[in-house]
Structure 1
Amino acid sequence: MEKLIVGQSLEKQLQEVICNVAPTGAISYVVTRLSDGEEPQIVAAFKETMIHVGASMVKTLILEYVFHLAYEGQLDLHDTIALSRSPRVAGAGVLQELMGTHSFTYLELCRLMMVISDNWATNLLIQALGMEYINARAHQLGLEHFEINRFMMDTLAVQEGRDNYITALDMAKLLHHIYNLRYTLEGHEMWSILGRQQFRDILPFHWGEDVVFHHKTGSLENVEHDAGILETMNGDFCFVMLMSHVRNDVAKQLGAQVGLRMKAFVEDALP
């Protein structure tokens, strides 16, 4: 991707904030300018290829793969999956409050997985799709370090060294792919789902509730991530912020400050 020289001033701003708030954390970010049918331009980036634990950010790839299969005629979004097909898990979401006799469509599970980050919905989809096939789709999309190696809330897998991984650059590529599909039959619903994300306590925290951000967040102990696309009068931009080895309350504070500066820069400082 081409990198804009003007973005160096944003990088300087963000570096000052990172050094002040979380100087010892593992921080990655990337800001890209998007245009339909064209290669994105990098506005600013820092350690964009550093590998992070994925947390709930990997759910975005599962979403894309479901809709890819539906578009290819290999899956019907209105077919159902019974809750009993996968063990109940805790964490984010509402399905854990239901009895296992319910069934949900692929579309409903995607919405629950993304909008409220439901972990049980995610595991049902991973089991139905196959972990190896989801990872093959990541490779097909050119996501070099994007891996799903465990189910949500699988602490035993983590203890055994199996985890899910992402980079800021891979997240930007995946979001750009969905962005290019937003006016198509395959992509319109994905785009709409991303725009209904209910967790707004990282990058868009200071933007106001009326600002639509098509994004996904992810959180684990000492991990906070956020990545999405903002449409502005000055163009459309992808913001990705990955924060590891930072206390969660500090990471959210940092993400909110970074989000404020990213938005102000792309709206006011870019030509």
Structure 2
Amino acid sequence: MDNTLDQWLSHEIDAFPGQVSLLMTDLESGTVLHAFQPDAVVTSASTIKLPILLTVMEAVQRDAFQLQQPVAVPDSAILPDTTVFEDENRRETYPLLELLYWMITVSDNTATNVLIDLVGMEAVNGLCRRWGASHTQLRRKMLDFAAQAAGRDNVTTARDQYVLYAGLYERAHSQEGPWVFALDTLLRQRCQDAFLRYLNGPVTVAHKTGGLDHVHHDAGLFLSPKRPYYLGCFTWDGPSLDGQPEQARFLGKLARRICDFYG
């Protein structure tokens, strides 16, 4: 652990007008490089889509599903916030791999809910338990505000996300097939307003963001040839409504300083 960077991170986190959980871990050795409240259980927002992706990949690996198989998307499933299932792209079915792509790269909630119906919530929660992400739970579908108000929210931790990403990293480097596809999909992330906000030059990041009112997260794998690492930063009780930039800017500031230091 670098004490100078750790002190800078501590100062920035203390000054942030909200709550922050951060974990940075060396992927090769498992050494924790920086940690601030890494086990705080937080509203997951769209970072819950990572274990959904991994659950589908397990099913593909055991031949329960095929990436090319058609999956029905009924009109009743389409949510008002979609930018994918519009008239210009409307079909009765979509390949499973396309639904996974939209769930991760643009965080489409319609695709996510269709995938939750396909695999089931208990399968997702079962994967989290088996992989060791014991505080991560899928309790509701996307945009189910009634369930959220009733206390059935999706939750995770920075350490749980590390466990999930590290498990994917290991499988993608030791096996072919679905795990390579999953890592590649995370590398194609189009939501680049947080960790990637101020980064320039060549950078390879497989990650998933998440945002709600007063919540903004980013977590994933920085695949530097020099020193690959996991970085997860979760902010809540902050000043930003969904879509406003203050918390994303904070995440971008931290990621830029970390990347400048570690290369």
TM-score higher than 0.5: yes
Aligned residue for 1:3? none
Gaps of 5+ in 1: 1-5
Pick closer, same or farther for the CA change 1:92–1:262 going to 2, 3 Å.
farther
* Partner secondary structure for residue 2 of structure 2: helix
What letter matches 1:71 in structure 2?
A: Q
Alignment-derived partner of residue 218 in structure 2: 226
Match of 1:18 in 2: 13
CA RMSD in angstroms comes to 1.8
Amino acid at match of 1:13: W
Q: 1:256 aligns with which of 246, 252, 256?
A: 252
Q: Does residue 78 of the first structure (1) align with residue 74 of the second (2)? A: no
SS state of the match for residue 182, structure 1? helix
In 2: Cα distance, 1:111 partner to 1:86 partner: 21
Q: 2:77 is paired with a residue of what secondary structure?
A: coil
Distance 1:233 1:15, change over 3 A: same
CA change 1:106–1:222 in 2 (3 A) is: same
CA spacing shift, 1:209–1:66, aligned 2, 3 Å: farther
Deviations 1:232-251 (A, max 9, x none): 24210111010001123221
- Residue 99 (structure 2) aligns with: 109
CA distance in 2, matches of 1:58, 1:195: 17
Describe the superposition over 1:25-82 as per-residue Cα deviations: whole angstroms up to 9, x where unpaired. Answer: 11100001112xxx51110000000011011101010111111111112222222211
Q: Which moved more, 1:245-254 or 1:196-205?
A: 245-254
Alpha-carbon deviation of 1:212? 2.1
**1 CA distance for matches of 2:246 and 2:106?**
22
Q: Per the alignment, in what secondary structure is the counterpart of residue 104 of structure 1?
A: strand
Could you say which residue in structure 1 is the equivalent of 2:30? 40
Task: Please tell me the residue identity of whatever aligns with 1:18.
Answer: I
Alignment of 1:136-155 (within 5 A): 136-155=126-145
Query: Is 1:63 the counterpart of 2:53 in the alignment?
Result: yes
Structure 1 residue aligned with 2:190 = 198
Report what 2:227 is aligned to.
235
How many residue pairs match? The answer is 257
Identity of aligned residues (%): 26
Code of the residue aligned with 2:259 in structure 1: it is: K
Instruction: Report what 1:212 is aligned to.
Output: 204
What is the TM-score with the length of structure 1 in the denominator?
0.89
